Amino acid sequence: MKPVRFDYKRPATIDEACGLLASDDNARILAGGQSLIPMLSMRLSRPSLLIDIAHIPELTAFGETETHIEIGAMVRQAVAQKSEFVKTHIPLLAKALGYVGHPPTRARGTVGGSVAHADPSAEIALVAATLGAEITYRVDGADEIFDASDFFIGPMLTIAPPTGCLTRLSFVKAPAVCGTGFHEVAPRKSDYALASAAAQINFAAGSGVTSIHLGIGSVGDFPERLDVDQLCGTPLDDSAIADAVHAAMQMVETVEDLHATAAYRKRVATELAIRALRDARGEISKDLNQ
Amino acid sequence: MTEQKYKFLSTPRRPVEDRRFVAGRGKFIADLDRPNMLHVAPLASHYAAAVINGIDASAALAMPGVVDVITGAELAAAVQPLMNGLNTPNVRRFPLAVDRVRYAGEWVCAVVAESRALAEDALEKIIVDATPQPFILDAEAALLDTSAPVHPEHGSNLLLDRKFVWGPVDDDFDAAAHSLSFSVTWGRNSTVPIETFGVLAEWNGWDQMLDIWASIQMPKYADQIARSLDLPGNAIRVHYDVDVGGSYGVKRGIKHSVLVGYIARKLGCSVRLIEDRLENMRAGDAHGPERKFDITIAFDQDGTVRSMKMRALDNAGAYAGRAPFQLGKPISAIVGPYQINSVAYHALSVTTNKTVQEAVRGFGQAPTNYAIETAMDRVAEYLGMDRLALRQKNLIRKDQFPYLIPSGSYYDSGDYHAVVDKVLTAADYPAMLAERDRLRDAGMMAGIGIAACLEPSGGNSSFEPLLNQSNQTSTWMESCQVNIDALGKVTARIHTTSSGQGHETLVSTVLGEVMQIDPELIRITRPNSLESLPGNSPVGSRMAIMLGGAAARAGEKLKAKIMAIAAHRLGVAIDELRYEGGDVLANDGRRLAWDEMVELAHRQYHNLPDGMDPGLASFDIMQVPTGDALPVDDKVQMYPCYSFEFHLLLVSFDPIIGRPDIHSYFIGHDCGTVINPAIVSGMTYGGIAHGIGAALFEEFAYDTNGQLLTQSFLDYLMPSSHEVPAIQIVKHCTPSPHTVFGQKGSGESGYLGAPAAVSGAINDAVSGLGIHFEKLPIRMSAISDAIAAKTS
Ligand SMILES: Cc1cc2nc3c(=O)[nH]c(=O)nc-3n(C[C@H](O)[C@H](O)[C@H](O)COP(=O)(O)OP(=O)(O)OC[C@H]3O[C@@H](n4cnc5c(N)ncnc54)[C@H](O)[C@@H]3O)c2cc1C
């Protein structure tokens, strides 16, 4: 369990990092190292150059616009979890972050690293896909932006450009009234989940429920957004939620491994999606019933 | 208030070893450094089975920093096969594969280089020309004539096939009103130490000496290395003064040590091999029993269990290892804590193309307890009888001890009913039942787990002569040396490594008690093997009994000498003297202080009794209590002491999610006189955690290609502090009549019954659906799937 010999560089700017990426087609970015270092040790990843982006100030910043919250790729999961920005404006992410690994791994692991790594059970990726976050990569000096809803295409597989550096995630600010729910199931607390579900119901006074976001993770090759638009305009009662989830789950293909059968993943993802939606509904029940 | 019986024993004292461990000042193999030390990395087989046609290591050898590449062929020509304890001369095993690989992960060859990283680089350059062969993973399949033997020279996959009948089994079955049959399977798991195995060997040609530092927990380690390397026993010097970062049976390291010993000697240097986690999990000594039980049990309408037929089929993996003998130890408690009149036992061990099975905590007892406890639950279910009442009816009664079980062992002492009652009171059993029903009413699946079992301890390995008549072992001694220096301070020497058992605390406490000296002032050292007396290392839950016993006896010898010196000095008879806190008091009020007697012994020969040797030193080599005889008629007294444990827990889970949540966990524990309460409790907590792992999470699982799926902690799941509930230990003490203070073993406590209890709780939770989970671990997915199959 010793990595293959590699060079190590620690750039100070994003463009310097991109230059290094372009200089060696077997280069790899090192963020928090919580996924990459074990892969290096097992020689599953064999880069010739490691580019440590931990010392690029722009990557550790939060940003705010009228409509969006931006999280720098190098923001540690633990920092995001404690951030008031995140709690206020991306409550679904705030809920999910507590499920990402353990306090020590969150202290080093980054928000961007989790998205770039694209583990099918990554909670941050699930929230990003569910909410349709924007993922920004710097490639050849220019920014390229991807919609998280169709960014993930397989286990550890995305449509990101191979020589790009993920710089930030951008989430639409949640409306003043919104309900969220997050559930996951793992054999042990904080293990990679066997099934996970994220839900957000947006509400506007006067117009009622404006949109419903639902996503499931850990059951297939990547986190998936489920279409439950049919629920908008319904009273969101238990049976409507269950019907919508069952309908949406019909097309979902689930995987099987030592820890869970495909049938288990499907059954449990369905249940968790229902619970996540119910939790979200519960959070705005006062507004819904007005 | 009653007067306390002991001054230091059974009192809450902080274990001596904790200080250095908590401060991070332990000394482990990875902390050692020797000049010009070389490093080894083994090449692992990809195939579950293959014939090796050739190995081309030229490219590896040409790399800078690479010193040598050792193949199995080279090694086989230079060393003797590793011992296996059975009469299976054609199941030969060397540290590296010879001609054939027999499991995925088996070591094919080994690179020696200036660093471990360079050695791993070189591994990638080695070309192995191998032809894949058919392989077998399942133990039942391995038994079939049509299956290819893992060792063709051996002719079949059978390592052990022994049938025992103890007592009138047929008569008891005929007389019983009912019988039922079932099968359960214990999954392959381990104890998973934090520190993987490591060994450092250094050859000094001028001294003709092989020095070894190793993280071992291994009886007769030095002997086995010497035999394999064809070296005289006194040319191997094993240094016991290293810390071992966890074991419970899996720190054997014979193959690793023979390999590095050979390399050190060949190259005349120091060489170190420390397994990485992959090597530890797929090719170390990590795998424990994988066992299928077929059980038929005969019982009466009133719940009296009369007789049991048990077939135990164990999947030993690719070589003989210790697996077959792990079918032997449970013979000593084959009826558990119950009055079962007769037993038929069919023990089968077969080779397969899996990693070699070695010793794991309890040496096969925990799987057998799981089978027996499942039988008790099944009988209760069949009769519609309360599971607890059924057990209480069949438990051996206090007035029946010493109790002779059909397979020839006497249980020394116990009060099982009292322990059960104490636990029921502590747990408020009626409230627990009510809570279970409340959870059920709330839509959860909820169940109570009950398990009673024994921990045989301190034995002399007599399962070896029982299973192999050519083995004539009738001792499994342990020893201790004690010296009082000229300044009056006590030093004791122990002759083994420790992997967390707290032997320094054990010996200093026991000696302190005997000599009436503050244990804090007693120093414990670990010399090397050449300066040691015979011993058998901490296996079989024996050290409190055997090392504690030897230390106490060595202390008594010293005390006797001190009394003789004092009697002579004061001119009175010994029986007119009293030993008190290190001083000696005469009936007439005169007192000889400790320092004065030390002075006499060390300097004043002229004042010693005639013929007495000077100095104050003693040693004791202790024989196993009750363990003097070889087996007769397939029966033998295997262990002197039997500790008792009784588990009671409440579990619930959501029927869809299936993730068991343990609400409360109680264990009644009787290991006789406790020497250090913190150590015993620590063993029990850890054992239960381990048992929860065996029941719910841990398995060395293989895919259909014979590849190990669980090679790291990503997939080999151990319970964390989140999954292990608060555990209430309910203590009871029935002293053993066979040991110096009445102590029994506790090194396996908790683990021996927890898997059965947790399994029982989950089965109770689904009992209304007619579901039986018949294999451990019981994964949450299996729980949910089974419920879905019944309810959809
Ligand atoms: C014990 C343990 C438990 C864990 N449990 C969970 C869990 O429950 N859920 C979960 O989601 N994760 C879990 N993880 C993974 C953890 O969250 C990782 O931190 C995360 O997957 C990767 O983030 P990182 O910053 O550590 O990235 P690294 O490990 O440094 O990198 C991961 C990959 O992403 C690439 N990368 C990183 N940053 C960028 C970037 N800015 N631009 C382009 N490529 C980039 C790297 O090149 C590499 O390929 C666990 C990890 C451990 C060790």
Question: Tens of pLDDT along B691-740?
Answer: 999 999 999 999 999 999 999 999 999 999 999 999 999 999 999 999 99
For residue B128, what is the domain's CATH number? Answer: 3.90.1170.50
Beta strands in B365-489 (DSSP E): 403-404, 410-411, 445-457, 478-484
Closest CA to B553 of B510, B590, B583, B505: B510
Half-sphere exposure (CA, 13 Å, Cβ side) for B516?
Answer: 11
SS (H, E, C) B431-446: HHHHHHHHHHHCCCEE
For residues B308 and B262, membership in a common domain is answered with no
Distances (CA, A) of A185 to A219, B502, B517: 11, 39, 55
| Beta-sheet strand order (sheet of B490-493) | B523-525, B490-493, B478-484, B616-622
Token code pair at residue A171: 């989430």
Distance from CA of B316 to the nearest CA of A (A): 22
Residue B273: pLDDT band (50, 70, 90) is: very high
Map out the domains of chain A with their CATH numbers: 7-51 (3.30.43), 59-172 (3.30.465.10), 177-288 (3.30.390.50)
List, for residues B779-788, the tens digit of each pLDDT value: 999 999 999 9
Q: Cβ of B697 under 8 Å from any chain A Cβ?
A: yes
B675 lies in a domain? yes
List, for residues B278-303, the tens digit of each pLDDT value: 999 999 999 999 999 999 999 999 99
SS (H, E, C) B498-562: ECCCCHHHHHHHHHHHHHCCCHHHCEEECCEHHHCCCCCCCCCCCHHHHHHHHHHHHHHHHHHHH
List, for residues B46-103, the tens digit of each pLDDT value: 999 999 999 999 999 999 999 999 999 999 999 999 998 898 999 999 999 999 999 9
CA-CA distance, B327 to A214, in Å (whole number)? 53
For residues B313 and B229, membership in a common domain is answered with no
CA torsion sign for B307, B313, B314, B316 is: positive
Token code pair at residue B727: 């555990």
CA-CA distance, B370 to A47, in Å (whole number)? 48
Residue B612's Cβ-count burial label (10 Å; 0-12, 13-18, 19+) is: middle
CA-CA distance, A288 to A207, in Å (whole number)? 11
| Three-state secondary-structure class, residue B742 | coil
Q: Cβ of B282 under 8 Å from any chain A Cβ?
A: no
- Name every chain A residue with its beta carbon within 8 A of the beta carbon of B780: 185, 187, 194, 260, 264
CA-CA distance, B510 to B558, in Å (whole number)? 14
Structural domains counted in chain B: 3
Q: Which of B622, B648, B668 is the last residue of a domain?
A: B622
Residue B321 has pLDDT above 90, yes or no: no
Residues 6 or more apart in contact with residue B438 via CB below 8 angstroms: none
Quote the ligand 1 centre to A36 CA distance (angstroms). Answer: 7
In chain B, which among 100-119 make CB contacts under 8 A with chain A?
A: 116-117
Q: Are B669 and B643 in contact (CB under 8 A)?
A: yes
Q: Nearest by CB to B278, which of A1, A4, A261? A: A1
B499 lies in a domain? yes
B139 lies in a domain? no
CA-CA distance, B505 to B684, in Å (whole number)? 17
Q: Which residues of B147-176 are buried (b: 16+ CB within 10 A; e: fewer)?
A: bebbbeebebbebbebebebbebeebbeeb
Q: Are A55 and B291 in contact (CB under 8 A)?
A: no
Q: Which of B231, B249, B274 is the last residue of a domain?
A: B274
CA-CA distance, B374 to B362, in Å (whole number)? 18
CA-CA distance, B454 to A144, in Å (whole number)? 67
Range of the domain at B777: 291-462+629-791
Token code pair at residue B502: 């707290």
The distance in angstroms from the start CA to the end CA of chain B is: 63
Q: Give the ipTM.
A: 0.97
For residues B19 and B43, membership in a common domain is answered with no
Distance from CA of B719 to the nearest CA of A (A): 7
The distance in angstroms from the start CA to the end CA of chain A is: 60
| Ligand 1 nearest atom to the CA of residue A109, by list position | 19
For residues B520 and B642, membership in a common domain is answered with no
In chain B, which among 674-693 make CB contacts under 8 A with chain A?
A: none
Closest CA to B99 of B138, B71, B59: B71
Residue B579 has pLDDT above 80, yes or no: yes
For residues B388 and B334, membership in a common domain is answered with yes
Quote the ligand 1 centre to A156 CA distance (angstroms). Answer: 10
- Name every chain A residue with its beta carbon within 8 A of the beta carbon of B720: 188-189
CA-CA distance, A259 to B693, in Å (whole number)? 14
> Mean pLDDT, chain B, as a whole number?
97
For residues B634 and B607, membership in a common domain is answered with no
CA-CA distance, A182 to A175, in Å (whole number)? 18
Q: Which of B275, B781, B785, B791 to mutate to test the interface with A (most CBs of A within 10 A)?
A: B781
Q: Cβ of B657 under 8 Å from any chain A Cβ?
A: yes
Alpha-carbon dihedral B69, B72, B77, B78, rounded to 10 degrees: 60
Q: Which residues pair with B131 in a beta bridge?
A: B51
Closest CA to B365 of B312, B298, B297: B312
For residue B729, what is the domain's CATH number? Answer: 3.30.365.10
B152 lies in a domain? no
Alpha-carbon dihedral B282, B283, B288, B293, rounded to 10 degrees: 70
Q: Give the number of other Cβ atoms within 10 Å of residue A85's Cβ.
A: 17
- Name every chain A residue with its beta carbon within 8 A of the beta carbon of B117: 2-3, 5
B159 lies in a domain? no
For residues B611 and B652, membership in a common domain is answered with no
**Best residue for ligand 1 mutational test, from A26, A29, A30, A168 (most atoms within 8 Å of Cβ):** A29
CA-CA distance, B262 to B790, in Å (whole number)? 59
**Angle B254-267/B221-229 helices, nearest 10 degrees?**
50
For residues B399 and B522, membership in a common domain is answered with no
* Range list of H helices, B124-164: 139-143
CA-CA distance, B212 to B513, in Å (whole number)? 34
B146 lies in a domain? no
* Range list of H helices, chain A: 14-23, 36-41, 77-82, 84-89, 91-97, 103-108, 111-117, 123-131, 238-249, 262-283, 285-288
Q: Which residues line ligand 1 (CB under 6 A)?
A: A 28-36, 53, 73, 100-101, 105, 109-110, 112-114, 116-117, 119, 121-123, 165-166, 190, 192
Token code pair at residue B178: 């009912």
Distance from CA of B722 to the nearest CA of A (A): 6
For residues B328 and B446, membership in a common domain is answered with yes
B185 lies in a domain? no
CA-CA distance, B437 to B426, in Å (whole number)? 19
Q: Nearest by CB to A271, which of B656, B723, B780? A: B656
Q: Cβ of B276 under 8 Å from any chain A Cβ?
A: yes
CA-CA distance, B738 to B740, in Å (whole number)? 7
CA-CA distance, B324 to B463, in Å (whole number)? 10
Question: Which conformational region is residue B502 in: left (phi greater than 0), alpha (psi within -120 to 50 degrees), or beta?
Answer: left
Alpha-carbon dihedral B458, B463, B466, B469, rounded to 10 degrees: -110
Residue with tokens 């710097």: A138
Q: Hey, are the CB atoms on A258 and B723 less than 8 Å from each other?
A: no
For residues B689 and B712, membership in a common domain is answered with yes
CA-CA distance, A162 to A28, in Å (whole number)? 9
For residues B102 and B249, membership in a common domain is answered with yes
Q: Which of A35, A191, A258 to mutate to test the interface with B (most CBs of B within 10 A)?
A: A258
Residues 6 or more apart in contact with residue B601 via CB below 8 angstroms: B484, B561, B562, B565, B608, B614, B615, B616
List, for residues A105-159, the tens digit of each pLDDT value: 999 999 999 999 999 999 999 999 999 999 999 998 999 999 999 999 999 999 9
- Residue-level pLDDT at A162: 87
Q: Which of B241, B274, B307 is the last residue of a domain?
A: B274
Q: Are B357 and B196 in contact (CB under 8 A)?
A: no
Residue B583 has pLDDT above 60, yes or no: yes
List, for residues B618-628, the tens digit of each pLDDT value: 999 999 999 98
pLDDT average, residue stretch B362-371: 97
All residue ranges of chain A with pLDDT < 50 are none
- Residue-level pLDDT at B3: 57
Over the Cα atoms of chain B, what is R_g? Answer: 27
Position B459, amino acid: G
Q: Hey, are the CB atoms on A259 and B779 less than 8 Å from each other?
A: yes
Q: Find the helix or strand (DSSP H, E) in which B314 lies.
A: strand B305-317
CA-CA distance, A209 to B713, in Å (whole number)? 44
B610 lies in a domain? yes
For residues B522 and B584, membership in a common domain is answered with yes
